[in-house]
Chain A
Amino acid sequence: MSFIAESPPLGRVVATERRPNTPHEFHFWTALDSPVGIGTIVRVEGTVPVNGQIPQVYGVVVEGLSYTDLESPLHDVLGHDGSPSTASLAATERAEIRLYSAAVLRQLPEEPLQPVPMGHVFLATTEDIAVALRMDAYLNGETPTGIPIGVYRAGGTDAPIYVDADFLLGPEAAHLNITGVSGLATKTSAIEWIMSSIFTHFPKHKGSVAAVCFNVKGPDLCFLDQPGEIDAADLALYQACGVTPEPFASVQYFAPFKFDGFSLNTLRSNESLLDNVSPLTWGLKEVLQYAEVLLNKDDVDAKADALIDFIRERVVDREFSDPDLLGNRHYTVRSFADLEAWFKDILGGIERSNRESWRTHHVATIRKVRNRLSNISTRCAGLVTDGGDVSDLPFGAFRDRTVYVVDVAALEEDAQDLIFARIVTRLREHLEKRDLGVNHVIVFVDELNKYAPGDGPDTYVRKMLLDLAERGRYLGLVLFGAQQFRSQVHRRVVGNSGTALYGRMDGDELATPGYAVLSPAVKTKLATLAKGQLMIRHPHFTQPIFVRFPRPAILRGRDGAERFPQANDVPLDVAVLRTLRGFEPAITLAWVQDAIGIREDDEVIRARNAVVRERPADVRKFFLAQLRPIVTARSADRPAAIPIRSGPADDPYGF
């Protein structure tokens, strides 16, 4: 909304030889009480027609100066006898100027490109802003692609700012990067808000969209489906952007187990929220493909790599035999436990036959690979199972406008890396084959400076993120990354982000070369940005723009953790009960205890996991079917005692 239509000018363009106007920058002064500030968008109306058209120039204020006719500060000291308290008694305020510099956003006509002419300066109206930011190109027409990202506010003008979906989610450009200091609830909140906006406004003609969010710390993303409080100001922003203030309608959570193998390793473990929480567990087959993620490069040399390839291609999930070494034994390796048994027999066979190598693989290499691979299920316990149980994201059945949250917050770094690598790779594979279930996937990764650092070792995860940043837009695989220090993220990752958002920034970070293009005033504003404000760069905007965004209508992580406390670790029977109740609420603890009986934990967990994986119609029957039958106890007949043969009568040793 704007009330500025036909309003009087608020400034005049000025230029001097020392401070001339250029095609990209101009200067103007305003009254002392004008609503202009850093980030304000203004329109200059020229006075002399060019090619029959009065030039219109749009600019955003990037610098401001204020000074009086005082030639030396000493004059003011003298004027008040060195006493600041008498300054307020001066009869007249000195003549004072507010002089602003603005960076040109757009000139009309665009040719010939000339220095900004002298003229009146007006506060930009909503319509002016659409023209200035070239939003008119994608907000109008038969297939608009605008997605509101916030509201520009200045001097009574509240104008929603739209980014172009073609440049946010591909194929023209893609990816979004947000940076800002921690603790202001800006980065995560902004991402949540933008995802809400995308889910509301993503154009139908562009297909479907889902999001995969990695929750890397605390309870940040653990309550996306729970409503949170917003105030009237936020509501107004929602209305301006045409987004309904409500939590995400469809959210699926995934989290590995803890070391015990049956308690979910997530802050969203409250029983009342478990209906959309699924375990994330992988077996040997799922992990072996990404062994590179977990194995130290120094350990896995070319020889070890060849053996791992051999195991992956010839052993895992296939019938394997080697009559020469193993006789007539046959192996079908499907789990880490199977693999360990296979290694044991192979090494035993080599020792027995007194060889130094087997199928060109030296025994030392075999021992090393055995050691490293067997170790994975221990290092990633809870995620990687010995038994090979798999519970995974629904690749191939992704649903439109659904958020898939993978909670890796409580995991070790190795496990986190494995999860990133596998999930993103699988997403890419499915999008390449066009069988993921949706056309576009947003991948949200926080703490990018940890996972894709600008320096340090070239890890698998960093390579994967680089690949995603450079090639993802063609597939519809879009990276939304967040970090505290943009300067510490790999340049190609941030450089490929078509859209960049900046929350409140740290002064040291702003001093790095990446921010040299910003004026000191813009840097100052960035260093003092309030909650809910962002600076945005987008391919259509020739200059950064400041916007406000509403607080997400989602229960904040910290509040959620208080309202839905994390479930205490429970015994296996209670854990099984919680899981099974998700499928059949009538199941009781007594039934579970009766069903489990005296069985080993591993067997019970396997049965529980099978239920989760298969989601059978008759849960009780299916669960029981997974358990090995227990032979009924019966008393055995006592065999008749055989009398001890008596010794010979003449036994000399008899007594």
Chain B
Amino acid sequence: MDGATLEAIRVGSPEAARLSAAAVVEDATAAAHRVEAPWRPAFAAFLDGTQASRVIRYESGVPIVHGTVGAVIRQRQDRRLTTWAHETGTALYVPRRHLSRPTNLAVDRLGMTVVDITATLPEAEIAPQHPAALLDVAVHAVERDRERLEQRLAEQWCSERHDPLFVDGSISGSPRVASAACAVGVVKSHRLLYADGAALRVVVDLAQGQRSSVLRVAPPSSRRTPVWSWYLRLRETTGHDPMWGLVRVEVALTDVSDPATVSRRADTVSAWILAEATPLSLPDARWHTMVYGIRDCEEFLHAIR
């Protein structure tokens, strides 16, 4: 299948940019903390997943989407990355209720996994839809499958290994991972900023090598687990937008009664992440927030796709 993926042509409504308040657990109010050098690498592995969706056919304006998902943990030994585990999957994402019976039978006869993207939709949304809206639904279904693979691998790592695992994205989707001491989630996109008011200023003004105070982030979705989180500036921002080189770190909650422990944990993990600032992930456009281990994961998944 040739052509650009739905992800590449930005199908799927972007999340609205917004602010959300979060409880500061380290300081009385949000503040910037310098992460003291030396920054030494400690991550034993990196986890990331990819997805690619393409429309293979329109049936009376109803899209049939082919989705490929994959996730991998790349383990670091002697500064070289090798695959610890990986999973891939492909499926057809179809709105069965909008397809004719013969088309549904034809889809079944393909022998592929078929995901009915209308199965979980409320009845109100089952009515005939704009084709683009159906594409949004399909892409989100693919996204969920990708997240499931990532979570499965992360859970496998946390159950078998205790070395630090760098997870691309949030760890709050899996209660087991979100509570594991080894997992560190690093979020690169900031459509939702856990800061408002003075805290927002602290975050956007962070200098390279600085982190914000630790927050307790409780995502609104009930399917997500609260974690401790803080913002960390990986690179110098001069001449760039406020989100340049900014990541949000997530780690499991620990005993909140000892703020010093929280600070130490945040400093330690921040130093690990800052140590991953080289080598650069260029030519990826997200290189300012993407560490090389994650780019390596993506390259691996791209190679085996």
Contacts and interface: CB of A to CB of B under 8 A. Distances in A.
Interface of A: 32, 69-72, 75-76, 78-80, 86, 89-95
A328 B140 CA distance: 129
A574 to B, nearest CB: 74
A91 B282 contact: no
A95 B296 contact: yes
Sort A-B residue pairs by CB-CB distance and give the 8 closest, nearest first: A91-B41, A79-B280, A75-B282, A79-B278, A71-B283, A93-B79, A90-B278, A79-B279
Contacts of B148: none
A108 B221 CA distance: 63
A52 to B, nearest CB: 30
Most buried by A among B79, B81, B276, B280: B280
A80 B299 CA distance: 22
6 contacts: A69-B295, A69-B299, A70-B279, A71-B283, A79-B280, A90-B278
B76 A92 contact: yes
B292 A78 contact: no
Nearest to A96: B80
Contacts of A80: 278
A623 to B, nearest CB: 82
Contacts of A92: 41, 76, 79-81, 276, 279, 292-293, 296
Contacts of A70: 279, 282
Contacts of A78: 280, 282
Interface string B261-286: 00000000000000110111011000
Contacts of B295: 69
A252 B280 CA distance: 72
Interface in B55-90: 76, 79-81
Most buried by A among B79, B279, B295: B279
A75 B277 CA distance: 13
Interface residues of B, number: 18
B283 A94 contact: no
Nearest to A89: B278
A94 B299 CA distance: 12
A98 to B, nearest CB: 13
A90 B282 contact: no
Contacts of A72: 282-283
Nearest to B46: A92
Contacts of A79: 278-280, 282
The main secondary structure of chain A at its interface with chain B is: loop
A86 B39 CA distance: 13
Contacts of B278: 79-80, 86, 89-91
Given A69-B295, A95-B81, 17 more contacts: A70-B279, A70-B282, A72-B282, A75-B282, A78-B280, A79-B279, A79-B282, A91-B76, A91-B79, A91-B275, A91-B292, A92-B41, A92-B81, A92-B292, A93-B80, A94-B279, A95-B296
Contact of A75 (B79, B81, B283, B299): B283
Contacts of B280: 75-76, 78-79
Interface string B133-173: 00000000000000000000000000000000000000000
Contacts of A86: 278
B68 to A, nearest CB: 22
Contacts of B299: 69, 95
B283 A90 contact: no
Nearest to A77: B280
Nearest to A81: B278
B274 to A, nearest CB: 10
Contact of A90 (B43, B81, B279, B296): B279
Contacts of B296: 92, 95
B277 to A, nearest CB: 8
A76 B279 contact: yes
Nearest to A76: B279
B245 to A, nearest CB: 13
Contacts of B283: 71-72, 75
B282 A94 contact: no
Interface string B15-45: 0000000000000000000000000010100
B208 to A, nearest CB: 12
A89 B81 CA distance: 16
Nearest to B277: A79
Most buried by B among A69, A80, A86: A69
Contacts of A95: 81, 296, 299
A502 B295 CA distance: 46
B209 to A, nearest CB: 13
A588 B43 CA distance: 92
Nearest to B296: A95
B4 to A, nearest CB: 21
Nearest to B280: A79
Contacts of A91: 41, 43, 76, 79, 275-276, 278, 292-293
A152 B293 CA distance: 41
Contacts of A93: 79-80
A633 to B, nearest CB: 101
Nearest to B283: A71
Contacts of A32: 80
A516 B292 CA distance: 42
B203 to A, nearest CB: 25
B303 to A, nearest CB: 10
A93 B279 CA distance: 8
Nearest to B42: A91
Contacts of A94: 279, 292
B185 to A, nearest CB: 18
Interface string B81-111: 1000000000000000000000000000000
Contacts of B279: 70, 75-76, 79, 90, 92, 94
B253 to A, nearest CB: 27
Contacts of B282: 70-72, 75, 78-79
Contacts of B76: 91-92
B231 to A, nearest CB: 21
A407 B76 CA distance: 66
Contacts of A89: 278
A89 B276 CA distance: 10
Most buried by B among A80, A92, A94, A95: A92
A78 B279 CA distance: 9
Nearest to B293: A92
B273 to A, nearest CB: 10
A70 B284 CA distance: 11
A32 B79 CA distance: 13
A91 B276 CA distance: 6
A94 B293 CA distance: 9
A68 to B, nearest CB: 9
A70 B281 CA distance: 9
Contacts of B292: 91-92, 94
Contacts of B80: 32, 92-93
Contacts of A76: 279-280
B143 to A, nearest CB: 26
A76 B279 CA distance: 7
A320 B280 CA distance: 100
Nearest to A93: B79
A63 B3 CA distance: 35
Contacts of B41: 91-92
Most buried by A among B43, B282, B283: B282
Most buried by B among A32, A72, A79, A91: A91
A44 to B, nearest CB: 21
A289 to B, nearest CB: 74
A29 to B, nearest CB: 12
A78 to B, nearest CB: 6
A177 B79 CA distance: 49
A148 B41 CA distance: 55
A195 B278 CA distance: 59
Contacts of A69: 295, 299
Nearest to A78: B280
